[in-house]
């Protein structure tokens, strides 16, 4: 499970940079440019990592890419409008629960401690969503909470779909995923008239976020090929730990007491699920 743990650290760092980028650029610009950086990286890695690009492999990857790109748009929007140290744990909890439920439906049987973690995660959602700001700000906060949960569902879908690709495909599913996500976001930007030009000083941050995200994806693919999806996905979902640390010491974010308890419950819930 070392790969999954390292993957979590890299995902969390990528999300931190992605969150910074969305405060300087429009969300669609951040997503499509970061995904393009990831595509360049995966193409560079293809000659060094064995795999066969079958239609089935690419199809599962493209399906995962659609789910992941929608999730990324929602996630970056939540990061841009909410508190990073709240958005990241909520998204992680939702993304962890779905693979567990999928595993149960397909025959995996996690230990009771993992199911206890799912219950704890639901309680954590209620606690983290309680802010102490005025009504207008509170409405904005609840909006970011709902967006975070929707993003988590999309990421959970990405984990599930990418895990269905044949093992012999190597990282070709990620090529399909990135191709689909870039196409989808570019078309969305075209039809809505949104610009894909990054804001001043944001381009290098976006590239870093995209490169780290792809490294994390590669680690996830190899980790889930070597372990149960229900365990790997929840270990990967520990990524808010690095996001929280960066948000705390780089951005100086502060939380109220109830939210701090909720974040603790969130991380504890993911840890319980992973410990099964």
Q: What is the pLDDT of residue 5?
A: 81
Name the 3-class secondary structure at 202. coil
Output phi, psi for 103, to 5 deg: -60, -40
Q: What is the pLDDT of residue 138?
A: 45
Non-local (6+) Cβ contacts of 257 within 8 A are none
Task: Give the Cα separation of 155 and 94 in Å (integer).
Answer: 8
Q: Give the Å distances, CA to CA, from 179 to 58, 83, 142, 245.
A: 10, 30, 33, 32
Q: What is the pLDDT of residue 126?
A: 63
Find the angle CA(3)-CA(181)-CA(274) to the nearest 5 degrees: 30
Q: What is the pLDDT of residue 125?
A: 66
How do the domains of the chain map onto residue ranges? 2-274
**Chain centroid, CA 225 distance in Å:** 19
Q: What is the pLDDT of residue 156?
A: 92
Q: What is the pLDDT of residue 139?
A: 47
For 114, left (φ over 0), alpha (ψ -120 to 50), or beta?
alpha
Per-residue pLDDT in tens (0 to 9) along the chain, 276 residues: 678 888 988 988 998 898 888 888 888 888 889 999 999 999 999 988 888 889 999 999 999 999 998 998 888 888 777 777 678 778 888 888 888 888 888 887 767 887 787 778 767 766 765 554 444 344 446 777 888 889 999 999 999 999 999 888 889 999 999 999 999 988 988 888 887 888 888 899 999 999 999 999 999 988 888 877 877 887 787 787 777 778 777 877 776 787 778 778 877 877 887 676
């Amino acid at each position: 499970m070392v790969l999954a743990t390292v993957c979590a650290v890299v995902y969390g760092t990528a999300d931190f940079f992605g969150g910074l980028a969305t405060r300087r650029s429009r969300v669609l610009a951040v997503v499509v440019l970061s995904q393009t950086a990831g595509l360049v990286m995966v193409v560079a890695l293809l000659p060094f990592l064995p795999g066969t690009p079958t239609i089935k492999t690419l199809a599962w990857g493209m399906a995962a890419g659609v789910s992941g790109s929608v999730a990324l748009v929602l996630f970056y929007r939540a990061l841009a409008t909410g508190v990073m140290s709240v958005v990241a744990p909520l998204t992680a909890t939702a993304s962890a629960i779905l693979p567990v439920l999928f595993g149960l439906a397909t025959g995996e049987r996690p230990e009771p401690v993992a199911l206890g973690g799912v219950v704890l995660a639901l309680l954590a959602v209620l606690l983290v969503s309680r802010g102490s700001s005025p009504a207008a700000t509170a409405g904005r906060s609840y909006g970011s909470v709902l967006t975070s949960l929707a993003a988590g569902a999309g990421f959970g879908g990405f984990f599930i779909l990418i895990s269905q690709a044949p093992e012999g495909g190597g990282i070709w599913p990620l090529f399909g995923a990135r191709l689909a996500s870039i196409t989808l976001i570019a078309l969305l930007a075209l039809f809505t008239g949104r610009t894909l030009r990054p804001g001043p000083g944001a381009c290098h941050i976006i590239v870093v976020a995209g490169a780290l995200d792809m490294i994390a994806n590669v680690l996830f693919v190899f980790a889930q090929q070597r372990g149960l999806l229900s365990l790997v996905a929840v270990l990967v979902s520990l990524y808010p730990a690095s996001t929280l640390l960066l948000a705390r010491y780089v951005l100086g974010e502060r939380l109220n007491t109830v939210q701090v308890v909720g974040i603790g419950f969130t991380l504890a819930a993911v840890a319980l699920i992973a410990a099964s």
